Amino acid sequence: MTKRLRGAGTRLATVGDQLLVALTNFGLTIAIGRAFGTDELAAYGIGLSIGLMVQGLQRHAVTIPLMLRTAEWASRNRGGVAAEQLVLLLVALFAGAIALAISYFSLSRFAFLAALSSTVCLFIYLQLEFARAFLVKIGKPWLLFAGAVAYTLIAGALSFAALRGIIRYEWLLGGLATAMLLHAFAVVLLSGRLAPTQGAQLFLADTKQYGGWAAAATATYAGYNHVPLLILGAVAAPVHAAVFVAARSILQPLQILLRGFDIADKNLFAELREGKGTSRFIWRLVVLYALVGILFGTAAGFGAERLLSLAYGDKFAGYGAAIVAWVPAYVLLSISMPLESVVYARNCFAAYFAIRAVASAVAIAAAFPLIYRYAEIGAIAACAIGWFIAVLGTSLMLLRRGALR
Range of 343's domain?
230-405
Q: Do 237 and 89 belong to one domain?
A: no
CB within 8 Å of 359: residues ≥ 6 apart:
220, 223, 224, 386, 387, 388, 389, 390, 393
Taking the CA atoms of 255, 298, 364 and 113 in sequence, report the sign of the dihedral they define. Answer: negative
Shared-domain flag, residues 311 and 204: no
Tens of pLDDT along 331-347?
898 888 888 877 776 77
Sign of CA dihedral 268, 335, 362, 114: negative
Alpha carbons 401 and 68: distance in angstroms, whole number:
27
| CB count in 10 Å sphere of residue 159 | 22
Last residue of a domain, one of 165, 190, 222: 222
Mean pLDDT across the stretch 272-276?
A: 51
Residues 80 and 196 in one domain: yes
- Containing 23, the helix (H) or strand (E) segment is helix 2-35
Q: How confident is the model at residue 261 (pLDDT cuts 50, 70, 90)?
A: low
Q: Indicate the number of domains in the chain.
A: 2
Indicate if 184 and 303 belong to the same structural domain: no
Residues 303 and 392 in one domain: yes
Do 250 and 204 belong to one domain? no
Mean pLDDT of the 248-276 span: 66
Which tens digit of pLDDT belongs to each residue from 18-51?
888 888 988 999 999 999 999 999 999 999 999 8
Statement to judge: residues 235 and 174 lie in one domain: no
Please tell me the predicted confidence (pLDDT) of residue 4. Answer: 58
Same domain membership, residue 157 and residue 44: yes
Are 366 and 324 within 8 A, CB to CB?
no
Is the pTM higher than 0.95?
no
Q: How many residues does the chain have?
A: 405
pLDDT of residue 31: 95
Mean pLDDT within 261-267: 59
Distance (Å, rounded) from C-alpha 343 to C-alpha 336?
Answer: 10
Residue 293 and residue 390 in one domain: yes
Q: Which of 182, 201, 222 is the last residue of a domain?
A: 222
Same domain, 33 and 137: yes
